[in-house]
Structure 1
Amino acid sequence: MSLGPVEYMVIEFPGNQFKGEIIPALREVVDKGVIRIIDLVFVRKDEQGNVSVMELSDLQKDAASAFAPLARDTTTLLAEDDIRKVSDIIEKNSSAALFLFEHLWAKKFRDAVLNAHGEVIAGERIKKEKVDAALAWRPGELEAAGGSRAS
């Protein structure tokens, strides 16, 4: 099985305040074939710094049934070292979801790049706050409605 571009993401929930509204948003991109969740692990750190780890099979029935359609074809690619790194970076009294996912939308593009003997040599996800700040610093650069460049 050849995977498309793969990315990991850690989403922290300070104060263990996980709310279910991310599930429908995640389901939408999975159902539309934009991404495929490869692995999913939940990490929780209590106020004393004790860490517990849960996989889908460890979740309570309601939570497991909410996430199950999103992670139909999961693997166990996330290793103990990955989980340890997450537990090191999250704050006490917080929880985190560690996702490993495939960018299905980019598979064809990736293959075209490889067939052209191209190689991605740099890349970085730019945080929303930085993009918003850049756009605010350059008012008029993008039209609000269409997103096209102003002349």
Structure 2
Amino acid sequence: MSIGPVQMIVLGFSHPNFHGEVIAELEKLRKSDTVRVIDALAVYKDARGDLEVEHLSNLSTEEAVELGSKIGALVGLGIDGEAGMEAGAAEGAETAATTGLHAFTDADAWDIIAEIPDDSAAALLLIEHHWAVPLRDAIARAGGYRIGDGFISPLDLVEIGLATAQEAKELHDLETAAAR
């Protein structure tokens, strides 16, 4: 398993009304081998500020073990060289097999969670862009590297001719309706 570029996305939901649509779309992307959810943290904050937290992932056990092994190896390599890499790989694989792969620990998420308004929700998604593996590898073979990345606002698409002003406004309104 080659690991593709990994991205963290934080989404907010005002007065959430979940019907499983987001999970269904992530599953479609997984089945088409487009993206994999390495870890996701869904957080709901009720009107009193009390939290409900749930971890989600769509990695198979085999994928979680392999990815856990690679992450553990990298951590171990940084701590204790080659010996640490071997120990880290074994520990990462064992942990992933036993408890799954949880990149988001409660301590990692609290800074973002504290900013969630009462009676709303947030989702922290750590996704792997599996579709990008061949492209990333071709870029590396050509001596290239990533300098930056980011999502482009629909309003910015007008300037480069990819959307009309009306289309951009509709997309922008769709993306920001819940925040208003």
Global fold match (TM > 0.5): yes
Q: CA shift at 1:112, angstroms?
A: 1.6
Using the TM superposition, give the Cα deviation of residue 33 of structure 1 relative to its aligned residue in structure 2, in angstroms. Answer: 0.3
Contact 2:37–2:125 (CA under 8 A) maintained in structure 1? yes
- 2:79 aligned residue: none
Which residue in 1 is equivalent to 2:173? none
More helix by share: 2
Residue equivalent to 1:130: 155
**Local SS of the residue matching 2:52:** strand
SS in 1 for 2:108: helix
Aligned residue identity for 1:95: A
Whole-angstrom distance in 1 between the partners of 2:158 and 2:135: 30
| Candidates 82, 85, 110, aligned match of 1:84 | 110
Q: Is 1:94 aligned to residue 120 of structure 2?
A: yes
Task: Name stretches of at least 5 consecutive residues in structure 1 with no aligned partner.
Answer: 57-67, 140-151
1:4 is displaced (CA, Å) by 1.0
| In 2: Cα distance, 1:18 partner to 1:79 partner | 23
Q: 1:138 to 1:42 in 2, by over 3 A?
A: closer
Structure 2 distance, partners of 1:14, 1:92, is 9
Q: Identity rate of aligned residues, in percent?
A: 31
* Aligned 1:14-25 pairs, distance under 5 A: 14-25=14-25
Cα RMSD (Å): 2.6
Q: Residues 52 and 26 from structure 1, CA distance in 2 versus in 1: closer, same or farther, beyond 3 angstroms?
A: same
- Where in structure 2 are the equivalents of 1:1-151 lying within 5 Å? 2-56=2-56, 70-72=58-60, 73-74=63-64, 75-127=101-153, 129-131=154-156, 134=159, 135-137=163-165
Give the TM-score normalised by structure 1.
0.69
Aligned pairs, how many? 126
